[in-house]
Structure 1
Amino acid sequence: MKFLGELDDVSLGRTQRCNRRLTDPNRLQAIRDTGLLDTPREETFDRLARLAAELLDVPLTIMSLVDADKQFFKADFGLPSPFRETRTLPIDASLCRYTLEGDPIISSNALNDPFLKFHPSTGPWGIVAIIVLPLINPDGHVLGTFCCIEPKVREWTPRDLKVMRELTTSIMTEINLRNQIQKLKTEQNLRETFVAALTHDLRTPLTASKLSVQLLGRRHADLPSVQTSVARVSASLDRAERMIQNLLDASRIKAGKRVALDLGECDLHAITTQALEELAAVYTERFVLKAEGVFKMKADPLGLRRIVENLASNAAKYGAPGTPIEVLLAQSGNRVTLQVRNQGTPIAEHEQQTIFEPFHRTRSASESAEKGWGLGLPLVRGLAEAHGGSATVTSSAEDGTCFTIILPLEATSREPHATLADFARIEAKEFTGFRS
């Protein structure tokens, strides 16, 4: 760019430093990552431009992105033709490019400013008093500017500068939030693709192994030692398959999606009784079921079983050893309540707020000898919410720990469109989870 006069050393140094920043590939990529370059006007940003014009009582405000070859006007108030229509300015005519070092341009009278008075756009644009503040992202890259222009001499007050700085912060907050949302969407897509691919690849050798073990068991049905080994290997393979199911459902929950349900007529009392009988073989006779009659529901039987198994096994693992674990079923109107109570070290109040989050484990669980991924309780809540219900917890030294599940008698499937992870899910069976 050719200035209309000779710049002093300070001004010349500024132009040289900013010119080097102009084509910085990292800065240019940061601009593209905003997704704002060469996009239509948006009320979100136009509103801030109008607000600046009103609060400062100036005729022109502009929010710009400074690219390598042009200045793009994303939002404005009072921008004259033809710039209001083209919304671009050749970079050689840009004044905002000289904020790329992160320093603002503030002047009450550009005509007397040693730098601004020689800039070729000062006269044609009617720039006399001006505030140009850089839009700086968290990585320190200047994306563009937010500026206001007054065609007459004006001493900017501290309030004027504060208003512009606050509005500039608001612009960057909006841009940064959009960037974070986009990153989260990208991360979610990658996670879903990874989990689906991983589980698919894991299931292939698991299926082959199970078939081989079953064949071995049939060939040597008369050998007890072989049958014992077959049973042990089969149980381990089933456990690995249930862990895969954990990952699939946890991935869905973390992505804000509902767990898939296979609804049918079932009896929660019968499901709970069977689950507790099987768990009693592992955790001894500690479970005390308190329920009367049948609890007919339209629900996912496997989902209900997973809820019971997770809560009951967690109570056995982390509750006081040897103490009874109460499992209560009750019905009120069109809803049923499942509660699992145990005694032992209470869950800290702050941990009760996060205990249902995926991959979270309480401090006591992490320090215990019990291993876990922190998926059991998130899956309990995910299954409850998929049924249209809820999952909560209370815990104290006096009353022990109580997990409460409230479910409607008739669940309605509200499953979103199937994803790759959903197709991988089809082959999975029930699992016994781990406490968070």
Structure 2
Amino acid sequence: MSESATPYDRSDPARLLSLRMTELLDAPPDEVFERLTRLASRLVRVPAAFVNLVDDRRDFLQSCFGFGEPLSTVRQLEETTFCHYALGRGEPLVIGDAREHPVYRTVPAVTSMGLVSYVGVPIRDAQSRPLGTFCVVDYHPRRWTDDEVQVLAELAASAEREIRLRLERRSLLDARQSLEHALREQAAERAFSATVLNTADALIVVSDIDGRIVRFNRACERLSGYSQEEVLGQHFTLFVDSADAPDVVEMMGDLAAGEYARRSEHEWVMRNGTRRRIAWSNAAIAGENGEVTHVVASGIDVTEQRELDRLKDEFAAVVSHELRTPLTSIRGALGLLAGMHTDTIADDRARRLIQVASRNADRLTELTNSILTIERLRAGRGSLDLETISAGELLVNAAETVAGSAEAAGVSLVVQPAPFSLVADGPKLAQVLVNLIGNAVKFSPAGSSVEIRAIRQGGHALFSVQDHGRGIPLDKLDTVFERFRQVHSHDAREKGGSGLGLAIARGIVEQHAGRIWVESELGVGSTFLFTIPAEEKAV
């Protein structure tokens, strides 16, 4: 092997980092190294021994036994040294008389200090990166024996073990500090999360994938009468009414399997036995590997709101029943007047008033019928008349029902083929589609289109009605299906409608054990979708 120092990279960042982590550079002589160099000097009878560490610009004599001034105080050499050649060889360098060697004779240790003979053994870290040498020198030529070289190699191995122990201790210390820092951050994050959870007005419950409670905020404690300590580890259904428990367990299972956020509503049984109606928004939390680890449920107490809804529904139903009979008489009378011969009603203004009265009587009749339909759906009255129907014919018939109003609004209806059948209540599903298509036409600009589709997905049928209107704000996507709700307060005046069409659609879909929702983007349009169970049968 040629006499050079090139096989190791003096500026290697990993090597320099390892050197710095020893904390030996620019440090006082290490006690262990002092003992080893003193022992080396005595065992092989040399005037000087030292541990030399090599960074990117100098040699640092960490321990120097036997050297006098000025080397023992300066302990830094920036010239080329024997150690560079030892590290370049990657094995012990043994020099009997440097003055007779064409390369070593020019080393400053020879020309300036009068050193003649040298043995240097490389010291490496655990990754075999060279950090320095364990060396002995003499002012006279030496015939180094194998035993002497072996003794020096063993002493160098002891120095190497000390350096590696220092690096391990430093790594452990760094790991401990990192862990302590992470734990402090984790504790601070937990404290922050606990503060947020406990100051929230909403009920917040966090469960693991088995449904066991791991967090239970103050709002839950106040409402339920249980403390967090009492419920930790208990199953979420501890508070759920037994009639609702199977649905809740099924929903929790779906969320644990990675299903998207779900909304639910069920009764909570308090510690004192009272019951409260809670509306929940549930979502799954995934870990770093993407697997669901927890389910978080955020709820609000809607007991009073639901009671008000019930009273409102009962009032509306009573009023509707009471209005239905007189409205029938009024419509009949107006129909007779409108059907009279023009000679009988010569006044054009009177005829227009009769027409206006007839239209408004029709609107009132439609409203009362819608309210009664909502009441029947809410109360669970009215069975489904199930039959096998063609999805394609269902779409076409619903579109034909709305075709007149669509033509008047300048909106085209596009019905996509749907070559499959399903078992459902045909007239009721037609009402759902008519309501959705009519709603889409109402909010579509002239010249645009409404696309109507139905596809089969496994054991379900998916229906969609897509418009290209103004879209629905994100915070209104759920409320549009509530009774008497409009996206904007002025819609009832400008667009007409009672605000019951979507509520009726939802009631009918849920009566079919289905689900209805809307996807929307402001300025782009909205797509109303619903799924219901369907048999696998093509037509």
State the TM-score bracket (shorter-chain normalisation). 0.3 to 0.5
Report which structure shows greater RCO (CA 8 Å, sep ≥6): 1
TM-score by length of 1: 0.45
TM-score by length of 2: 0.38
Looking at secondary structure, tell me which structure has more strand per residue.
2
Pair member with larger Rg: 2
